[in-house]
Amino acid sequence: MTRQDAITQAHEYADSGALLADVRRRVAYMTVSAEPWGEAHTRRYFEEEIRPVLDRMGFSVRVQENPTSPGHPFLFAVREEPESELTVLTYGHADVQPPQEGQWDEGLSPWDLTVDGDRWYGRGTADNKGQHSVNLAVLAQVLEQRQGRLGYTLKLLLESGEEVGSPGLEAICAEYAEELSADVFIGSDGPRSLAESPTLFLGARGMSMLRLEADLRETSYHSGNWGGVLANAGTVLAAAISSLVDGRGRIQVEGLLPPAIPQSVRDAVAALDIATGPSDPPLSAGWGEPELSPAERLFAWNTLEVVDFLTGDPGNSVGAIPGKAVATLQLRFVVGTDEERICDRVREHLVAAGLDSVEVTEVARMSATRLDPDNPWVEWATDSLEKTTGKELALLPNLGGSLPNRAFADVLGLPTLWVPHSYPGCAQHAPNEHQLASLSREAMGMMAGLFWDLGGEDSLR
C-alpha cells in the first residue's frame, strides 16, 4: 500500500457520498454552546456519533467534565502505538453558533443539511463539524491502507465551548498536560485564504473586546431647551472612539500597536494576495495603515473595529440630548502586543484626552499566538501539502481571526499547524453557513497525505 493509495481512497470516500452522509448526520445534532439546552445534544453527539467512529479505529475514549464550565464537556481520545517515537495531538469542536432560524434563505434549514450544487448548507458544516469530519474519515482511510498502523500515537481533544470562548480549555490542558503531551499539534478550523488555495496557518491573532460607555445622566433632555449647556453622551463617545481609531481605520494609540513585523513573517505574507470572490466585498481603498500591504494589515498587524454603537433610540428618533451611549470595540492583535495592558492603555489615553467620563471595560479576550515560519515543522507540512495538491501553499503566520490556540502553543508548548477546510465566503457564524464539496474533497486528499507522511521516515521525530 502506498501514499497515493491512501489519497485515492480518501477521494473515493468523498466521491461516494460517504463524507456527505457523515456531515449530514452530525449537523442534525443541535450542539449550540450558547444555550443551556445545547449540552444534552453535545453529550449525545459525543456518545452516539463520535465515540463509535473512534472505537472502530482503536482509540480509547472518554468524556471529561469541564473544570470551569460544567455545561461544556470535552472528549478525550488516544490511539497508542507504544513502539512509535512520534505523538500527534489533533483537535476539533463539537459546538456551533445559534441557528438564526428564520434568517436562512428559503428552503434552507440550520439542522437539515441541504445540497445546492457545490454547497452543503447547514449549521456546523464549515465550523467545525465538516472540518473534523474530514479528518476523522481520512484517519480511517490511512489506517486501512497501513493495515491498522499509523506509525505514531494520535491523541484527539474535542471541545464543546469554542463558540463561547473555550471556557476551561486552558485549564484542562494545564491539568492534563502529561496526558495531552505530544510532539506536534495539527488541527483544522477557520478558513483558507482563498477557496482554491490550500492553506497552512501557524496561530491566530488575539482578540480584546472592549465596552465603552458614557453614562452622563439617567434621562434625555430636549435639545432645544438644553442644547449647548448639557454634554451629549453620544458626542462624547464619538469623540472617544475617533481618538482611538481614525476615519481611515488607523489606530491612534501607540500602546495598542504591535512591535515591528518580523522579517520571517513579512516573507511569509509577501506572496499572499487578498483577492475577493463574487460574494465578497471589495477591499476598501485607503483603509488601514498606508505603509503596509493588505496581507500585512490582515495577518501581521493590529486592527481596532467599532462593532456596535448605540445612543438614544435610532428606531424612534426624538429631538433630545441622550444621557447615555455605549459602544463595543474589538482589537485584533498579533504576537508582541502587550495584551495585559490593553484596557489600561485605552483608559490612560482617554483620560489624557480629557474624556475620562467614558468608562472602559474588557468583556472578553483571547491571546495571540504564532509559530515562527522558520520552524522545521512548517517546512515539513508545506512539502507534504504541496506534494499532494501540486499547488503552491498559502502560508499564514497567523489567522486574521482568533482561535484558542494558546492552550496548545503556550500551555502545552507545542508547535501548532492548522490546515483549514473552509473558505472566507462560507457564512461562518451567519445564516446560510455552508462548506464546499469540491474543497472538502481536496481536503480529504491533503489530510490523507499529511497523516500518511507523519508515519513515514521523513517526519520530524
Nearest C-alpha neighbor of 208 from the set 346, 412, 358, 357: 346
pLDDT at residue 454 above 70?
yes
Q: Give the dihedral of Cα atoms 146, 130, 406, 170; nearest 10 deg.
A: -90
Reported as a single tens digit per residue, the pLDDT across 270-314 is: 988 886 677 778 899 999 999 999 999 999 999 999 999 999 999
Helix (H, G, I), strand (E, B) or coil at 404: coil
Sheet holding 416-418, edge to edge: 60-64, 74-79, 153-159, 87-93, 184-187, 416-418, 199-201, 394-396
Q: Return residue ranges of the chain for CATH 3.30.70.360.
A: 206-272+288-365
**pLDDT classification of 238: cutoffs 50, 70, 90:** very high
What would the grid cell of residue 7 be? Answer: 489519497
Report how many helices (DSSP H) and strands (DSSP E) the chain contains, helices first. 14, 19
Pairing mode, strands 199-201 and 394-396: parallel
Q: Output the pLDDT for position 274.
A: 81
Nearest C-alpha neighbor of 217 from the set 199, 205, 229: 229
Q: Output the pLDDT for position 272.
A: 87
Q: Give 212's strand partners.
A: 327, 360
Q: What is the mean pLDDT of the segment spanning 47-64?
A: 98
Q: What is the mean pLDDT of the segment spanning 55-80?
A: 97
The percent of residues in the chain predicted with pLDDT above 90, rounded, is 93
Average pLDDT, the chain: 95
pTM (predicted TM-score): 0.90
User: Span 3-204+368-454: which CATH code?
Assistant: 3.40.630.10
pLDDT at residue 151 above 90?
yes
Between CA 208 and CA 305 the distance in angstroms is 11
Pairing mode, strands 324-333 and 303-311: antiparallel
Between CA 416 and CA 421 the distance in angstroms is 16
Q: Output the pLDDT for position 280.
A: 77
Q: Return residue ranges of the chain for CATH 3.40.630.10.
A: 3-204+368-454
Reported as a single tens digit per residue, the pLDDT across 26-52 is: 999 999 999 999 999 999 999 999 999
DSSP 8-class letter at 248: T
Reported as a single tens digit per residue, the pLDDT across 183-193 is: 999 999 999 99
Q: Output the pLDDT for position 461.
A: 65
Helix (H, G, I), strand (E, B) or coil at 52: helix
DSSP per residue, 121-172: ESTTTTTTHHHHHHHHHHHHHHHHHTTT--SSEEEEEEES-GGGT-TTHHHH
Reported as a single tens digit per residue, the pLDDT across 330-353 is: 999 999 999 999 999 999 999 999
Domain 206-272+288-365 bears CATH identifier 3.50.20.10: no
pLDDT at residue 254 above 80?
yes
Report angle CA 408, 89, 368 to the nearest 5 degrees: 20
Q: Give 370's strand partners.
A: 203
Q: Output the pLDDT for position 271.
A: 83
Nearest C-alpha neighbor of 104 from the set 116, 94, 92, 95: 116
223 burial (CB, 10 Å; 0-12 / 13-18 / 19+) is: middle
pLDDT at residue 205 above 90?
yes
Nearest C-alpha neighbor of 414 from the set 177, 182, 171, 202: 182
